[in-house]
Structure 1
Amino acid sequence: MAEQRAAFLQLWIDGQPVTDARSRVSRLEVDERTDDASSFHLSLDMAPTDSGDWDALADGRFALLKRVTISFGLGAPDSEAPDVQDVVFDGYITAVEPYFGPSRVPDSSLEVYGLDASCLMHLEERTRSFSGLSDAGIVRQLYGEYGFAVDVQDTAPVRDPARAVVLQRGTDASLIRWLARRNGYEAFVERKQGPVAAGANAAPECVGHFHLPRPDGPKQPDLSLIPRSTPSVIELKARWESHRPTELHGEHIDERTRRIRSSTVTAPRFPRMGTTGRADILKARMAAVLPKRPQTKAVGLQYVDVPHDVPEVENLAWSDYREADWLAEANGTVQGLRYERILRARRPVGLVGAGKLMDGTWYVRGARHRWVWAEALARYEVDVDLARDALNGVA
């Protein structure tokens, strides 16, 4: 466990550093999600000027659709620069909310909200069709229209233009999320690490992702519940339950052959994060709790979406299975000043101190960074949303 350090904040507006960020920002939250656009909420102290205006409100830097880039860092308390630093957000201001408090000063503020660069894909609703492409091919085309680099995992099938098209009725962002759900993928836009270039266009520095979750990727340093006096995890609440499917059946009629196409999914498409999944727990108990039907399984049926080809039957079943297969879910708060790095969403992380059932690898589905300036000190905490598809024994 790293010793407690100081928190650093750096902001850029349209690629230009905000040199007075520490004196003006009272609170900043950045919410990184796997299932939605990342967002930020910035609170700026606001005071009247001699000209009768309000300083933060009149500051042209905080106008709609200004590009905002946010970096958090950690370093020694007496250092002028962080030892570790991560850019966690690159996007645009989408809402501005001035608040005039009862006393005017010091309880007035300018509340600024924004979404990551994928919000540019959510401005225009369009009607158009795609044929002769796989879902991944459609996503590559959409990301390319905005100038994003791509990290896109292939999908099957490539649809026959003579019998199947994808029809878009909505924004490009909505279409990408629909295609991700059909394939059990994650879809998000994330900034690359590296210098922040000047200018309002964030796309060249961002990557559009469309792929399976990656709980088997490079693991972040362990979160720790111990020692109790100085843990990196302040609090953690976990939950797992019995009544979710452990097996998904998809059955659909092929409109060409009139035959039933079926698929059964019983395992994830990535390595499990423990030895005992929900299916193992139920199997161990069925003979005792249901002796007349000891082979009973928790089966779910996929029937909402309609496939156009045989591989899609399996993909649709997998998509429903992926979400149901998360066995344990946890929410907690990390003391960021005691953690080795800037904790990020969409990546695995280790956990120690929770006992033999829960210690090990978890997937970070969400991370909400909270930076608060109070009494000449910066507090930095991260609210985490964790999940794993197996425990280390029967619970």
Structure 2
Amino acid sequence: MPQGAEIRINALPDPELMGSGSIEVYERAGATTTYRLRYPVVVNDEGDLSMLADSRFDPGSEVSILVPVEDGNECLVKGPIHGHAMHLDHAAANSWVEIIGSDTSVAMNRESKVRVWADITDSDAISTVLSSYGYVPDVQSTAAGHAEDRHALVQRETDLEFIKRLARRNGYHFWVTCDSGGTETAHFRRSDLETEPAATFVINLEGSNIDALDLQWDVERPTSIESSDIDPMTGSDIDGATTSSGNRALGSVSLIEIAPDTRSTRLTAPVDDSGDLHARSSAVLGESEWFVQGTTNTTLARLGSLVRAHTVVTVSGAGTRHSGDYYVTGVRHVIDSSQHRMEVELSRNGWNT
């Protein structure tokens, strides 16, 4: 059994699928969560490779992958199967098949739509879209409004592309989570950098739970935005210049304090008010300010807690400058019969002095 993981097909546990094979789930900020289930392929009594045509793995079958945590099971991903990859050896000695799928947001990316959203905010438009897919909405309000007699909000893409475009415009992320009962929540919001750290990675100290930490930093990126527009109704100036993303610096000093020389870029966008333009300007900085990138890996048993994307973790033992809080931008869960390994991707928008 892949280290206590539970696999459900169309909401029903399937003990046979938990008996062998391996699991990979990759969750990443700004991307759809994907999964791969690998199983051996053997020749059955009729001389066929039945695993390759197993109806449980047909297109559209819904897979849920849950792992045990302290207070029950936590769902890593729930979503449809949309592909297979396979390797066949003569006589099937070392043959295998991978079942490939994504979370349910992939269904939002199947149909391009043309729609004009007028007299509405970005967040209200997102809530309307999400309601049609049956998600529990977790939508943070946005400042931008779109009047019919000014700049209406126009959609010329799939619902998923539309949501991701508005998320990037506002400095938000969009992702889908699922609880152990199968209820799905769609999140459209800023990174929560005020939350308590979900785990502590320890290196070079007693009680270490990681063996290596790779970090790199690069300060050559914008730290200020020049932006302006003209109100189409009054002719007055709209100022959207800013030097702040609105995010908490994960360190004692932020990027603009570390690299104070001018590093600016200009944002041009048709807007109706300063709230919209400021939100877009802050979003650009919110994307560029993550100048420290890192990777590490550990196991669920060694760390003692499950790490998820969109959370904050603490690094201890990396020296004064690089110890502290980091934002988790991605986790690749690799689960087999021996362990649940977590390959973690980290970002930081500051450091310590």
Q: Does 1:163 align with 2:128?
A: no
Alignment equivalent of 2:265, drawn from 300, 316, 320: 300
Tell me which residue corresponds to 1:269.
246
Alignment equivalent of 1:49, drawn from 27, 44, 52: 44
2:28 & 2:317 partners in 1: Cα distance? 26
1:266 & 1:245 partners in 2: Cα distance? 9
Deviation at 1:15, TM superposition (A): 0.6
Q: Does 1:333 align with 2:274?
A: no
Q: Does 1:175 align with 2:162?
A: yes
1:155 & 1:189 partners in 2: Cα distance? 19
Q: Does 1:233 align with 2:210?
A: yes
1:331-354 CA distance string (max 9 Å, x none): 222233201111111111111111
Q: Does 1:9 align with 2:9?
A: no
Please provide the CA RMSD for this pair.
Answer: 2.0
Corresponding letter in the other structure for 2:82: T
Corresponding letter in the other structure for 1:318: S
Q: Does 1:195 align with 2:208?
A: no
2:57 & 2:98 partners in 1: Cα distance? 10
Tell me which residue corresponds to 1:139.
126
Alignment equivalent of 1:63, drawn from 37, 58, 62: 58
Indicate how the Cα distance of structure 1 residues 143 and 83 shifts in structure 2: closer, same or farther if over 3 A, else same. Answer: closer
Q: Is the Cα–Cα contact under 8 Å of residues 113 and 157 in structure 2 kept in the other structure?
A: yes
Deviation at 1:257, TM superposition (A): 3.2
Tell me which residue corresponds to 1:385.
345
Deviation at 1:83, TM superposition (A): 7.1
Alignment equivalent of 1:248, drawn from 219, 225, 234: 225
After superposing on structure 2, the runs of 4+ consecutive aligned residues of structure 1 that deviate more than 3 Å are 82-85, 257-260
More moved, 241-250 vs 346-355: 241-250
1:240-298 CA distance string (max 9 Å, x none): 12211221221223333344322222223232211112221223xxxxxxxxxxxx422
Tell me which residue corresponds to 1:290.
none
Structure 1 length-normalised TM: 0.84
Q: Structure 2 matches for 1:348-359, cutoff 5 A?
A: 348-359=312-323
Match of 1:356, SS state, is helix
Identity %: 24
Q: Is the Cα–Cα contact under 8 Å of residues 43 and 110 in structure 1 kept in the other structure?
A: yes
Q: Does 1:218 align with 2:196?
A: yes
Q: Is the Cα–Cα contact under 8 Å of residues 250 and 316 in structure 1 kept in the other structure?
A: no
Structure 2: runs of 5+ lacking an equivalent: none
Structure 1: runs of 5+ lacking an equivalent: 1-5, 75-81, 197-204, 284-295
1:332 & 1:234 partners in 2: Cα distance? 8
Alignment equivalent of 1:122, drawn from 109, 112, 126: 109
1:278 & 1:162 partners in 2: Cα distance? 40
